[in-house]
A and B are shown apart, each in its own frame.
Chain A
């Protein structure tokens, strides 16, 4: 599966891309717009797209959540002069790994069979979620 995804990635370099921009209505939290772009109309259905973007939004919200656990982590880090992050990773990084796994899964199950490739927003500086239309489409 990974091998075929790599092939798709190489071919995808020159194909059309659809960008989903950030949604700032809730402030500076990382959220993406759930509005269905017209370019994907004949490739995937609206519900599928919205579900993917909503799940991504929820995952990012979980990463940036302010709560007891994040405060605890922050205070502990401050007390150890932030050296604790040499041993363990931050909560945000853990969620980013979860997101990467989710995107891989979505690509394998849903988007690759339909000739689309979903790129992880962290590779684009959390600016956009990009769908790449691969050449071997149907």
Chain B
């Protein structure tokens, strides 16, 4: 009864505030038009971007800097202390070759570290929903014989059965040879391994740079090791071995340390290069080799379906094959009308998704219609909790008292359906807050919670999206139960995510 009285009052309040809100929002969108955002700024994985999206690395880059320092210091010492002697006593070609090798090593290291390893962008909400539908259908139909679970698809490649797994984070069926890197929280094509020394994943796009890096680094370390030893030998020939070493600390203070670093590096890096040469020649990834996917120990007729048959073709394909473009388009500008991928990661991707939807909701009519629908959905909720909304009393205090639960609503992702009174307050608060916050609220229900299309509420909602005038009474059912409340909330979430 008193709710009926309140409704027109609230409607008036709503209208007033709406016009007040529209001007700051217009300036906000105007400002945003001046500084358009690039896609790397809302990238859902755990990567770091530098130089306005041109450089892409993993989150932990400490070891990469260590690699850089080790290479530069060792090479620097070599050029500073050994090269003058060797250039004058043997040939000046030594520093030149050393210099070329050093530059090549650095170039390949930076290229491997800074480029996109072959990250697969996450599925858009439509695609994810389509796949879920297909999997539900597969689940429902039962038939005789062995049927793999719906989250796995089997493909026959070159006579071998390969299982494609469904990635819960990226919402896609992973292509063959792709794997999800837990450190970077991305699916990477032809995933080899995550290399902390390089500070990035090694995948399809940067495997050749990684291989050339370790190969050239092994040549460089062998080169430096050999010529440092040569230097010591030549000196000892002149003045005795012990004298040569005595001279070393005095004049060439770090020759001994260089030798030690080089000795250990040589064995580990040369070993790694050898291992990767074997992998390239048999067209396997480190991941497959470690799991023994194609070894004959698993099954007698197990073989690698990706191998081209001969070593030369495998090597050429890995090193001189076509360079695939990056699929994530990190420097592209965010288009407000294109669907953005879901970012259901371990929580770190959560906030980027809100900014994402902030952009999508910048269009005024989207916000208007969302407000209408949310308010309409909130109305049946208010009926069940008259204490909160009953007061026609002083609006400012009403605002502040309702502000509390709403601000706490923001981070609590799965609790939305249970916190009905919270949404009730959200319904009212949304009329009072700035438009961007709306999008924060209603996107927070995890995409997993979106059910298949529901009853009456979902039919009305798509029309609301056109900014059409929605009569709240259409959604309001005096005999509503909690399920309808939850349904309408979920329906709204589905609407917002389209």
Partner pick for A27 among B123, B306, B465, CB 8 A cutoff: B306
Q: Among A44-52, A65-73, A108-116, which stretch is in contact with chain B? A: A65-73
Q: Closest A residue to B120 by CB, please name it.
A: A125
Q: Show the binding face of A for B, using Cβ within 8 Å.
A: 9-10, 13-14, 17, 19, 21-22, 24-28, 63-66, 70-71, 73-75, 77-78, 81-82, 85, 90-93, 96, 122-128, 130
| Binary contact readout B267-307 vs A (1 if CB under 8 angstroms, 0 otherwise) | 00000000000000000000000000000000000000110
Docked pose: A93 CA to B323 CA in angstroms? 9
Docked pose: A73 CA to B320 CA in angstroms? 8
Query: B176 contacts A28, CB within 8 Å?
Result: yes
A83, chain B: closest CB distance, angstroms: 9
Q: Closest A residue to B157 by CB, please name it.
A: A27
Query: B120 contacts A81, CB within 8 Å?
Result: no
- Contact residues in B for A73 (Cβ distance below 8 Å): 320, 322
**Given contacts A24-B175, A90-B325, are A82 and B111 in contact (CB under 8 A)?**
yes
Most buried by A among B162, B305, B321, B328: B321
- Contact residues in B for A85 (Cβ distance below 8 Å): 323
Q: Top 4 A-B pairs ranked by shortest CB distance?
A: A74-B320, A125-B121, A125-B327, A71-B320
Partner pick for A128 among B127, B158, B316, B498, CB 8 A cutoff: B127
Partner pick for B321 among A24, A70, A93, A127, CB 8 A cutoff: A70
B79 within 8 A of A: no
28 interchain pairs (CB within 8 A)? A13-B339, A24-B176, A25-B157, A27-B158, A28-B175, A64-B322, A64-B324, A66-B316, A66-B317, A70-B322, A71-B320, A74-B319, A74-B323, A75-B320, A78-B212, A81-B103, A81-B104, A81-B107, A82-B111, A90-B323, A92-B324, A122-B327, A123-B338, A124-B121, A124-B127, A125-B120, A125-B121, A127-B123
- Contact residues in B for A26 (Cβ distance below 8 Å): 157
Query: B325 contacts A96, CB within 8 Å?
Result: yes
Query: A124 contacts B124, CB within 8 Å?
Result: yes
Interface contacts (Cβ under 8 Å), in number, total 101
**Given contacts A24-B157, A24-B162, A66-B317, are A92 and B323 in contact (CB under 8 A)?**
yes
- Contact residues in B for A77 (Cβ distance below 8 Å): 323
Interface size on B, residues (CB 8 A): 47
**Given contacts A14-B498, A82-B111, are A27 and B176 in contact (CB under 8 A)?**
yes
B352 within 8 A of A: no
B349 within 8 A of A: no
- Contact residues in A for B325 (Cβ distance below 8 Å): 90, 92-93, 96, 122
B491, chain A: closest CB distance, angstroms: 14
Q: Show the binding face of B for A, using Cβ within 8 Å.
A: 103-104, 107-108, 111, 120-121, 123-124, 126-127, 130, 155-158, 162, 164, 172-173, 175-177, 189-190, 209, 212, 305-306, 313, 316-317, 319-325, 327-328, 337-339, 462, 465, 498
- Contact residues in A for B498 (Cβ distance below 8 Å): 13-14
Q: Closest B residue to A81 by CB, please name it.
A: B107
- Contact residues in A for B190 (Cβ distance below 8 Å): 28
Query: A17 contacts B126, CB within 8 Å?
Result: yes
Partner pick for B319 among A63, A78, A122, CB 8 A cutoff: A78
B383, chain A: closest CB distance, angstroms: 30
- Contact residues in A for B313 (Cβ distance below 8 Å): 66
Docked pose: A78 CA to B462 CA in angstroms? 53
- Contact residues in B for A92 (Cβ distance below 8 Å): 322-325
A75, chain B: closest CB distance, angstroms: 6
- Contact residues in A for B306 (Cβ distance below 8 Å): 27-28
B498, chain A: closest CB distance, angstroms: 6
Given contacts A25-B156, A74-B323, A78-B320, 5 further A-B contacts (CB under 8 A): A24-B175, A74-B321, A81-B104, A125-B120, A128-B127
- Contact residues in B for A64 (Cβ distance below 8 Å): 321-322, 324
A110, chain B: closest CB distance, angstroms: 22
- Contact residues in A for B176 (Cβ distance below 8 Å): 24, 27-28
- Contact residues in B for A19 (Cβ distance below 8 Å): 126-127, 130
- Contact residues in B for A127 (Cβ distance below 8 Å): 120-121, 123, 127, 172
A93, chain B: closest CB distance, angstroms: 6
Q: Closest B residue to A17 by CB, please name it.
A: B126
- Contact residues in B for A122 (Cβ distance below 8 Å): 325, 327
